[in-house]
């Protein structure tokens, strides 16, 4: 089930992905810190030493990643503003650049995650609303590996979608 990335507006990025699992399980994997820290790790070589989450409206969270090889850390923190169990979660997210470079976001991004189950498949739609277009572009450019090569396969894939 391929991931789908679009930008509904110049301040948003939307990521849609389906999972072969019931909605409650997909929800748990996002809402229970002991499960989140098992998969939300980013590129190879990064670990998630800090994963604290108080999942309820007004509850705070703190995520921090570390690369021992590079001796670098960065993180996100913020609070949950809306929690509808197994269905919808809205959280505010502030980027803490740690020592990977980039600047602390001045206004938090607002992330809305919605979980819909059909025929045993759960589709997660995550919409990230940034405070400005610049913030969005900056978020995309941050923490990414250099020299990523664009393969023709991807281009093929894009054309297949278009056709």
- Count CA atoms within 13 Å of residue 12 on its CB side: 14
Return the residues of window 125-154 that contact other proteins according to CB under 8 A.
137, 140-141, 143-144, 148, 150, 154
Site string for other proteins, 56-95 (x = CB under 8 A): ------------------------------x---------
43 binds other proteins (CB under 8 A): yes
Asked if residues 101 and 95 have their Cβ atoms less than 8 Å apart, the reply is no
Q: How far is the CB of 15 from other proteins (least distance, A)?
A: 6
| Tokens 């809402």, residue located | 31
31 binds other proteins (CB under 8 A): no
Q: Provide DSSP, 127-140.
A: EEE-SSHHHHHHHH
Which residue blocks in the chain are alpha helix, DSSP H? 23-31, 33-39, 133-141, 152-162
Binding positions for other proteins, rule: CB under 8 A: 3, 5, 7, 10, 13, 15, 17, 19-26, 28-29, 35, 38-44, 86, 137, 140-141, 143-144, 148, 150, 154-155, 158-159, 161-163
């Amino acid at each position: 089930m391929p991931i789908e990335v679009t930008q509904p507006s110049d301040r948003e990025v939307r990521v849609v992905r389906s999972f072969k699992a019931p909605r409650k399980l997909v929800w748990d994997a996002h809402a229970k810190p002991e499960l989140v820290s098992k998969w939300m790790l980013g590129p190879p070589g990064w670990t998630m030493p800090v994963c604290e989450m108080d999942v309820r409206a007004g509850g705070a969270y703190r995520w921090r990643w570390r690369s021992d090889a590079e001796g670098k850390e960065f993180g996100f923190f913020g609070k949950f503003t809306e929690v509808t169990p197994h269905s919808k979660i809205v959280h505010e997210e502030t980027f803490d650049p740690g020592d990977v470079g980039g600047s602390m976001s001045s206004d938090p991004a607002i992330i809305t995650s919605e979980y819909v189950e059909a025929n045993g498949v759960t589709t997660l739609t995550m919409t990230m609303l940034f405070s400005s277009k610049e913030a969005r572009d900056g978020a995309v450019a941050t923490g990414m590996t250099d020299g990523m090569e664009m393969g023709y396969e991807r281009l093929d894939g894009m054309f297949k979608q278009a056709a």
